[in-house]
Structure 1
Amino acid sequence: MAERMNAIIWPEGYLPGTTENFASNEMIVAGISAADVWPLLAVAPRWPEYYANSSDIRFYDGKGPELETGVRFFFRTFGFPVEGEVTEYVPPAHGEPGRVAWHGWAGEGDTRLDVHHAWLVEDLSGGRVRILTQETQKGKPAVELANARPNPMINGHQEWLDGLVSAARKAKQG
């Protein structure tokens, strides 16, 4: 029987191929589950533990440390100070994938960068987990990032995935 995999849900204006930049990274690995991965992704202050390209994570309005729909937060990544607001937050449960996404923004005028960064974490057959992260970007900095080689978004997000998988495996063994 064929196995169906889920997809990112895109908000209006951020559909891949309609913005200045798009990055997509995915890993499918055995031996860990969505339940092993989710706490490391959902609790934003844990990101720097396994992803060196994230720092200075702060929440607004007394929220955090776990992400949730509507929560505003700040972090630094790719040299940008990013303001963010969680637009989707659904933990994995009962065969349904976990989903978390945020709208992030930095800069003003010609330096303004707007992004939609989404994650999907789902259990697959055979004791495997699929982790998909995709990001669309708008603005002049997005054009520069799209044209840079090697691609900093693809490489950076792959480091995030590698670190996330490694941290989940360590936590499960620990």
Structure 2
Amino acid sequence: MNSIIWPKGYLPGMTDNFASNEIIVANLSAAEVWEYLNNTSQWESYYSNVADIRFHNVSGPELSQGAHFRFTTFGFPIEAEVLEYEAPTDSKPARLAWHGWEEGSTADDALHVHHAWLIEDLSDNRVRILTQETQNGKAAKEMAIEKPNPMINGHQDWIEGLAKEAAQNKHS
């Protein structure tokens, strides 16, 4: 199986908080899942912890390399820039990653994240959906000690909702 590609300063274990969520689902392909992750207008239909999605430098709602967008999640207004964008092919998994920062934050309370997705086809008509996020900043330190960790629970809802949405709308 493939793994996330981490930029400098965001390697898990070296940041203030880390969340990793993964599911493997039968009878679904990476391309079918990608359709609902790539199109941000679909997010609110299957993930209740996201709102107010807007694009700055592209029209959206589809993501793209270098897209700068904004959304609210976990109560934080997040500005984000897509750093990695690869749709799935027959030989390669889908990769999506953005750097995000809290809108209006100061140096003292800044929250910076690297949120990455890996969606890959597996044998026997299965798909693996992996999302991982590393975070730095005061809010990240606070979330890291919360039990249960809100990032882990929130991202689990996201990947399960994503898989369910793709399965329910599967093209026959």
Give, in whole Å, the separation in 2 of the partners of 1:99 and 1:161: 14
1:32-111 matches, within 5 Å, as: 32-106=28-102, 107-111=105-109
Residue-by-residue CA offset, 1:45-77 (whole Å, 9 max, x unaligned)? 211110000000000124311111111000000
Contact kept? 2:85, 2:96, Cα under 8 Å: yes
* One-letter amino acid of the counterpart of residue 170, structure 1: Q
2:117 maps to amino acid? W
> Which residue identity lines up with residue 136 of structure 1 in the other structure?
T
Q: What whole-Å deviation, never above 9, does each CA across 1:72-98 have from its counterpart, x for those lacking one?
A: 000000000000000000000022100
Structure-2 residue corresponding to 1:139 = 137
Partner of 2:125 in structure 1?
Answer: 127
Structure 1 distance, partners of 2:99, 2:69, is: 10
Q: Which deviations, in whole Å up to 9, do the C-alpha atoms of 1:6-30 show, x marking residues without a partner?
A: 0000001100000000000000010
SS of the counterpart of 2:25?
strand
User: Which contiguous aligned blocks of 4+ residues in structure 1 show a shift greater than 6 angstroms?
Assistant: none
Shift of 1:173: 6.2
Unaligned runs of 5+ in 1: none
TM-score (norm 1): 0.95
CA distance in 1, matches of 2:71, 2:109: 17
- Does the aligned pair in 1 maintain the 2:63–2:82 contact within 8 Å? yes
Superposition RMSD in Å: 1.1
Identity, % of aligned positions = 59
Q: Is the Cα contact below 8 Å between 1:63 and 1:71 reproduced in 2?
A: no
**TM-score (norm: length of structure 2):** 0.96
Name the structure 1 match of 2:167: 169
Asked if residue 154 in structure 1 is aligned to residue 152 in structure 2, the reply is yes
* 2:58 and 2:68 in contact (8 A); partners too: no
Number of corresponding residues: 170
CA distance in 2, matches of 1:61, 1:33: 30
Deviation at 1:170, TM superposition (A): 0.5
Amino acid at match of 1:96: K
Amino acid at match of 2:161: G
SS of the equivalent of 1:111 reads coil
**Paired AA for residue 157 in structure 1:** H
The runs of 5 or more residues in structure 2 that have no matched partner are: none
C-alpha deviation, 1:111, in angstroms = 2.2
* Distance in 1 of aligned mates of 2:119 and 2:49: 21
